[in-house]
Structure 1
Amino acid sequence: MTKLRLSTIPDDRPVKITVELPAPVFRDLQTYAEILTRTTGEKIPLDPAKLVVPMVQRFMATDKGFAKAKRTIPVTIKGAV
């Protein structure tokens, strides 16, 4: 049998979730989208929902406590897609 360098391809399909935001957080998200639209010179206003994923990614990428725990604490994810 041929031995390949890749064994499995991780499932990277998007997962849809619904989140309720407090009104002040949503207004800030709208304001952030408007400022970003003006700053980048875009003609079409940015949908505030499009900011959520990069913001969460950035938050987790820069959280040193999370990075350390992720390396050292075994985690079992129940109900993984």
Structure 2
Amino acid sequence: MNIQSDVKRLLARSLQLGQRADSLTAESSLLGALPELDSMAVVTILTALEEHFGFTVDDDEISAETFATLGSLVEFVDGKLKS
């Protein structure tokens, strides 16, 4: 399983990024850089991650740093999978 590819695919689908998703790298900024990524989109993405990876996310686990870059979001998912 490639977590980054899965997270990128879920982001692309949730935010309807189309071809723009292809250029996302671990260093790509998300929050503040993608106009589609608003508070409702964050909830949609978290739900998609929970369903896809089979974990639950508590409100106190999420911060702006989680969605700072694709890499930080992947690190969050990886940490959830290891716990």
The answer, yes or no, to whether TM exceeds 0.5 is no
TM-score range, shorter chain: under 0.3
**TM-score, reference length from structure 1:** 0.25
